[in-house]
Every structure is written in structure tokens, then in C-alpha cells.
Amino acid sequence: MKQTPAEIGPQTRVLVTAGAAGIGRAVAERFLALGARVAICDNDADAVTAFATRHPQAMAAIVDIVDEPGMTAFLARVEATFGGIDIVHANAGNGGPAGLIEDLTPSEWQQTLNVNLMGSFLTCRWAARVMRAQGNGLIVLMSSTAGLFGYPYRSPYATAKWGIIGLMKTLAMELGPAGVRVNAICPGAVEGARMDRVVANEAAARGLSSQEVRAQYVATTSLKTWVSAEDIVNQIVFLAGPAGSKISGQALAVDGHTEAIM
């Protein structure tokens, strides 16, 4: 039976992958602040320990998103503890290498696709089963503006993020009749340590300074701005509440309007 999502509160059960740092942590902490029950996983042991110390009420596990046995065990624990799941933010991913395609190795290519696509597959496969049985739920995948444009020097990343859009569109069709919504967030350049690393790698590959690359990211957005983690969180919380109840199958850019990717 299709249901309009309730206001977020103690009845809301949330899972965030790669939830111990960066955007994932910001999402998890916002839902905790709203009173939801939250589970996170991350492959960064120190970050998970810090998150668990700060938020003892949350479930936090050290799991690599592409470790199928580890993810299966973790997701089974979430299901047993929560009795279901209402919101899944499949956030885990990586930026992959920077360089011309002829300079990349097959292992670099495969590792980027594994983290971004296989991790999303394992998470969504579980969420689809649980949510279909419930007759409701929200899955939010993490793509990128690189999933909407070509991205020179970042072909593995762009390929993976376009793949996320295809996965989202397909799952929205498969799960819509069961009352489950599926969307993807497409962030632009998000301030933080992760983008600092991306900028440094891209600058090295292109023979530019980090300052020049950062300036190009700003110059190619209509609002001439970077994005904050809180901007992403606000969009996900909107989707999770009653106001977002009819939004599904959408790639939602939170990017200051990207005009081009250089």
C-alpha cells in the first residue's frame, strides 16, 4: 500500500553508507538531530570510532561497501534491529584517478566502478527487498554533475556516476508500484577534504595549480559558488518528508547550476 511519508522523527529508520565523514556524516547527523534512528557504515575505522563516540545512540559499523559478506552481515543487523528501513542514502563512492584515458590502468578503472556502482548495487538490492515488502521507502543515490556531463581527465568517475543515474531511473520504475521512491542527488563541487584531494589530483594531471582548478569550478557555475554539505543534506531531508512524497526517478542537481565541466 502506498503511503505518504510522515514527518521525520523517532519512527524514522535511516541508513547512510560512508556515513562517518563528509556528506554522509552530515546527512546522518541531521537525521539524528531530527530524532530518527540511524545506522551508518564506513571503511574508515577512525572515523567510525569518532562517530560512534559522538553519537552512541546510532548504529555504526566498519564495513567496506564492496565487501559483499561484510555488507550482507551489516545490513542483516540493521534489518533485525530496526525491523525495516525507511530511508537509505547510498552515499559511498570515490573520485577515482585523474588523467587521460590512455594513461589509466585497468585496475584504476575497475576500482572506481566497483566502489561507486557495486557498492550502490549491494545497498540497493537489500533496500529494494525490504522496502517492497513494507510498501514504502525512499532510496537516495549519490551521483554527481559528472553524471550529467562529460568530464575530461575523469573518465572512470564520470562513467560510474552516469551509471548511478541509470540505476536510479531503473529502480524508480521497478519499485514505484510498491510505493518506493528512488532519486539521485547530483552535487557540484562540495567544499571539504574530499574535494581538496580531487582538486589536487586534477591539477597535477592537467599541469595547473590547485587555485586555478578551484577557480574553474566556480567559473563554470551560474551562481559562481561551491556547494556545502548542508546544501546536500537539505535536499535529502526535503525528499524524505511529506513535501517530497511525489518526487521519484529524478536526478536532482545541487550545484549552483553547472554550465560546463572543464
**Residues noted as catalytic:** 157
> What's the rounded Cα separation, in Å, for the pair 141 and 118?
12
217 Cβ neighbours under 8 A, 6+ residues apart: 188, 189, 199, 226
Write out the DSSP string of 189-245.
-B-SHHHHHHHHHHHHHHT--HHHHHHHHHHTBTT---B-HHHHHHHHHHHHSGGGT
Task: Output helix, strand, coil percentages for the chain, rounded to the nearest 5.
Answer: 50, 15, 35
List the 137-142 sheet strands across, edge first: 59-62, 37-42, 13-17, 87-90, 137-142, 180-187, 251-254
Find the helix or strand (DSSP H, E) in which 126 lies: helix 119-134
- Give residue for cell 556516476: 161
Best CA proximity match to 254, nearest among 148, 117, 139 = 148
The alpha-carbon radius of gyration of the chain (Å, integer) is 18
Best CA proximity match to 180, nearest among 133, 242, 142, 237 = 133
> What's the rounded Cα separation, in Å, for the pair 90 and 27?
11
